[in-house]
Amino acid sequence: MSLGVFDLSYSQDGEFITDVHLHRGKNIRPIWKKIEMLAPDAMIVWVDRFDSLCPIASEWALAQALEQSAQIECGTETLFERTLLNEVNRLVWLTTYLGKIFQALAQYQCFERILSLREQVFNFQDEVCGGRILPQALCVGGLRRPIAMGDVQKLGFFLKNWSAAWSDLKPLVEDPLLRSRLKGVAVVPSEEVNNHGLWGIIGKASGVSYDARRHRPHGAYALVDFNIQVFRSGDSLARFEVAREEIGLSIQILHQLMKLFPKASKVERPRPTIQLNKGFYFGEVESAKGPVISVLEVLDGGSIGAVKIITTGSRLLEQIPRLLRGTRVEDLELALASLGLDMEEAEL
Amino acid sequence: MKLLETSRLKPIEIQAGQLRKTLATLDDDFSSPVLLGTVEVSSGFLVLFHSVRFNRDYSILIKHHDSVSLLEEIDQWRRSLNQ
């Protein structure tokens, strides 16, 4: 079984998984070496490739680190624009996540409908950023293509149609048979979450409410009201519920952002000169799968020493052999999907 | 993100097997750290932590005589949390 750049193999006793092995394959993408050689704006564009399902969070986290190094402060509009794009982009990961679960459960009608919703998000990203899957939207100090009030109106239409389609899907998502199939599968105890920082959807399903939008407010998140939904059972059903709630939360946050969105400034600000200063810099943005942390080392003369994105996924991967031991063989695909591991991160 | 100002710190020299002990002597916050990840930088390794107790993130720049053994030590640390 293939899991990103890993191959997963397992032993079983006829009913349960007894051992899991992860083997790193040959298709490791040298993404960081490539990014280190690029100019700051190009680095942000390129980091999209790290995770095609959470590109905005990756771009934003790296932009934060670069802006600290260059001592550039973003304007209010930029903070709103980035927050808005991040919330739209969260819908890509969340719909993909639910789609993978439907696929593992052979619920093909739900699978097709949720992916159709994801298509609508891709279309919106394409319209606003010019990039369908990889938006390549941010640059140091701002956005490559600033969001106009017209784009905010487009978002209003998008949200209206999207929310209606999502509401139509809800009865299928709340099907008791589907829920009973998810219950008790791949339980992650809260101690595991705390010991290994398994935040995001896994943490919230196991009673840990860590969310960088709340705990490390960035962009316009400090200006909007929202509650983080937490479940306790830590199983696939709880993670499914978190994903469902997070979709509702993103819609709610987007509505608030639209109301608060600042009117465009009449004065065009000149693009700041990007002069990176020596040191270590960090950024943190909440993606749908959890916080994305960027690390940047700038050397003398402004050249890049190191750059990397750290996510919950890389920490989770190390725990997979233990977490999957004792899972029913027939539940393996569902367990992997519900842990969010059957996804697109470059280092998974 | 609240982190130690790593750029102003000299890399910490750590002997084999002393990572956890050395970090514990630096700051009380490391009483129950969560290891977020490591990044190889020009002067060693940048190790990122989260303090559960204070809900803060930290980074430490570590110089080690052997990068492979440092990473093994970090792995051992992670494994010890599972026992």
By Cβ distance, the residue of B36, B37, B81 closest to A195 is B81
- pLDDT above 50 (res A336): yes
Asked if residue B1 is part of any domain, the answer here is: no
Average pLDDT over residues B16-30: 67
The residue among A277, A282, A296 with the most chain B CBs within 10 A of its CB, best to mutate, is A282
Burial of A211 (0-12, 13-18, 19+ CB in 10 A): buried
Q: Please tell me the distance from the alpha carbon of residue B69 to that of residue B30, in angstroms, as a whole number.
A: 21
Give the residue on A whose Cα is nearest the Cα of B75: A318
A346 to chain B nearest CA, in Å? 16
Whole-number pLDDT of residue B2: 47
- pLDDT above 70 (res A308): yes
Expressed as residue numbers, the domain containing B20 is 6-81
Q: Please tell me the distance from the alpha carbon of residue A61 to that of residue A310, in angstroms, as a whole number.
A: 10
Q: How confident is the model at residue A195 (pLDDT cuts 50, 70, 90)?
A: confident
Asked if residue B50 is part of any domain, the answer here is: yes
Q: Which residue has the higher pLDDT, A244 or B13?
A: A244
From A190-204, A270-284, A328-342, B55-69, the region with the lowest mean pLDDT: B55-69
Most trustworthy range by pLDDT among A311-315, B15-19, B74-78: A311-315
Give the residue on B whose Cα is nearest the Cα of A283: B1
Whole-number pLDDT of residue A199: 92
Give the residue on B whose Cα is nearest the Cα of A189: B82
Q: A219-242: per-residue pLDDT in tens?
A: 999 999 999 999 999 999 999 999
Give, as one character, the DSSP assignment of residue B54.
T
By Cβ distance, the residue of B34, B46, B82 closest to A280 is B46
ipTM over 0.90: no
Q: Please tell me the distance from the alpha carbon of residue B67 to that of residue A310, in angstroms, as a whole number.
A: 19
Contacts of A284 in chain B (CB under 8 A): 1, 57
Total tally of structural domains belonging to chain B: 1
B54 to chain A nearest CA, in Å? 12
Task: Compute the Cα dihedral for B1, B3, B8, B11 and give only its sign.
Answer: negative
By Cβ distance, the residue of A197, A215, A216 closest to B36 is A197
Q: What domains does chain A contain, in order, with CATH numbers? A: 2-338 (1.10.645.10)
**B42 part of contact set with chain A, CB < 8 Å:** yes
Contact A125, A138 (CB under 8 A): no
Q: A4-15: per-residue pLDDT in tens?
A: 666 788 999 999
Q: A14-68: per-residue pLDDT in tens?
A: 999 999 888 766 555 678 889 999 999 999 999 998 888 999 999 999 999 999 9
- Proportion of chain A above pLDDT 90, given as a percent: 75
Contacts of B34 in chain A (CB under 8 A): 194-197
Q: Which residue has the higher pLDDT, B8 or A310?
A: A310
By Cβ distance, the residue of B7, B46, B52 closest to A295 is B46
Contacts of A305 in chain B (CB under 8 A): 41-42
From A10-19, A42-51, A94-103, B42-51, the region with the lowest mean pLDDT: B42-51
Whole-number pLDDT of residue A348: 44
Please, what is the average pLDDT of chain B?
72
Query: Which residue type sits at A184?
Result: G
Contacts of B48 in chain A (CB under 8 A): 293, 295, 310
- Rounded to the nearest angstrom, the gap between the alpha carbon of residue A337 and the centroid of all alpha carbons in its chain is 15
Bridge partners for A298 per DSSP? A279, A304
Burial of A177 (0-12, 13-18, 19+ CB in 10 A): exposed
